[in-house]
Every structure is written in C-alpha cells, then in structure tokens.
C-alpha cells in the first residue's frame, strides 16, 4: 500500500513539473491573451468600470493541478477522464471570469485597500480550491473506493488492537 502511495506521488510530481513549466514558459501569456479577449468586456456589460487584467498571469495557474490530477487518477475511464477534463477546464475558466468580475466590483467599491483584500479572501480560497473540488466530483467513484478501503483498514487495525488488549 505504501509503495503504491509513493509511486502515485512520484507520478503526480512527474506530471505536474512539465505542466508547470509549460504554463510558465508561455501558457500563462497565451491564456492571458484568450482571457482578455473573452472576459475583457464583461465588467462593462455589468456596469462596472474597466480594469486591466493584470491578475490573470499570476493568479490562474490552477489549470495545472486540475489537469495533473485528471491525468494521474487511476481507474478513471477514458471517456470520464476526457469529458471531465474538458468540462472542468470550462468551469475553471468560468470561475476565473467570476473571480475577475467580483474583483472589479470589490476594487470599485473599496479601492486597493486591505478591506478589499479581506473581502476577496473567500473568493481567492474558492478560486484556488476549485480544481480540487471539480476533480473530487469527477473522480468521486475512485475517491469513494479509496476512502472506503482506508476506513476498513483503520477499523480493522483498531478492532485488532482492541482484541489484543482484551486478550491480555
């Protein structure tokens, strides 16, 4: 069991490192260009002021852990993996768009103040956790099996410990 966990951790690192490099080597700028084209006019449509999209390159790296988890999760069918990845990437994009719109609204109301940052903190947490939430939803069957096996193992060990202390 421990050997499988170590191998899975190594696989995560082996997939995440090149994905991170690709993101930093040009993916971030490419996504920024696409995001500006698609999301730039949205605040104006909502009656909010236009702001430069400076947060995108620094903030929106959460595609990397999502894609890495989708690649390395064992026992996901190819169809679920492919469809889940496509839908997940779209949801993450929409999450980025929502984050941007909320940021514009908060900065419009509070300016660049500590109050604005504290107002955005829950949105930042949600944005950063979104890839993991989506992955957990997509891989729920795999996760359910892993948690059930772990629980059985823990309860079996606890039951065995209880019996050995009673026997003494």
* DSSP code per residue over 85-154: HHHHHHHHHHHHHHHHHHHHHHHHHH-SSHHHHHHHHHHHHHHHHHHHHHHHHHTHHHHHHHHHHHHHHH
For 67-76, write each residue's pLDDT tens digit: 999 999 988 9
The whole-number pLDDT of residue 55 equals 59
Asked if pLDDT for residue 44 goes beyond 90, the answer is no
Report the alpha-carbon distance of residue 16 to residue 69 in Å, rounded. 9
State mean pLDDT over 62-89.
94
The whole-number pLDDT of residue 103 equals 83
Residue 18's pLDDT band, with cuts at 50, 70 and 90, is very high
Asked if pLDDT for residue 135 goes beyond 90, the answer is yes
State mean pLDDT over 140-167.
76
CA torsion sign for 50, 51, 55, 57 is positive
The whole-number pLDDT of residue 51 equals 66
Asked if pLDDT for residue 87 goes beyond 70, the answer is yes
The whole-number pLDDT of residue 53 equals 61
The range of the structural domain enclosing residue 19 comes to 2-167
Structural domain count of the chain: 1
The whole-number pLDDT of residue 161 equals 61
The whole-number pLDDT of residue 166 equals 53
Provide the Cα torsion 142, 145, 151, 152; round to 10°: -150
Report the alpha-carbon distance of residue 144 to residue 43 in Å, rounded. 40
Asked if pLDDT for residue 12 goes beyond 60, the answer is yes
Asked if pLDDT for residue 17 goes beyond 80, the answer is yes
Contacts of 119 (CB under 8 A, 6+ apart): 106, 110
């Amino acid at each position: 069991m421990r050997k499988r966990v170590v191998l899975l951790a190594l696989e995560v690192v082996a997939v995440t490192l090149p994905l991170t490099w690709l993101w930093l080597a040009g993916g971030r700028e490419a996504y920024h260009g696409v995001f500006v084209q698609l999301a730039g006019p949205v605040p104006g449509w909502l009656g909010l002021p236009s702001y430069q999209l400076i947060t995108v390159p620094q903030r929106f790296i959460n595609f990397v852990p999502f894609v890495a988890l989708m690649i390395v999760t064992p026992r996901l069918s190819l169809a679920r993996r492919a469809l889940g990845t496509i839908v997940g990437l779209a949801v993450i994009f929409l999450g980025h768009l929502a984050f941007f719109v909320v940021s514009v609204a908060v900065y419009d109301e509070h300016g660049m103040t500590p109050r604005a940052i504290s107002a955005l903190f829950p949105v930042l947490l949600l944005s950063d956790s979104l890839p993991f939430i989506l992955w957990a939803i997509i891989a729920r069957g795999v996760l359910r099996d892993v948690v059930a096996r772990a629980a059985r193992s823990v309860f079996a060990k606890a039951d065995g410990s209880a019996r050995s202390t009673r026997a003494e």
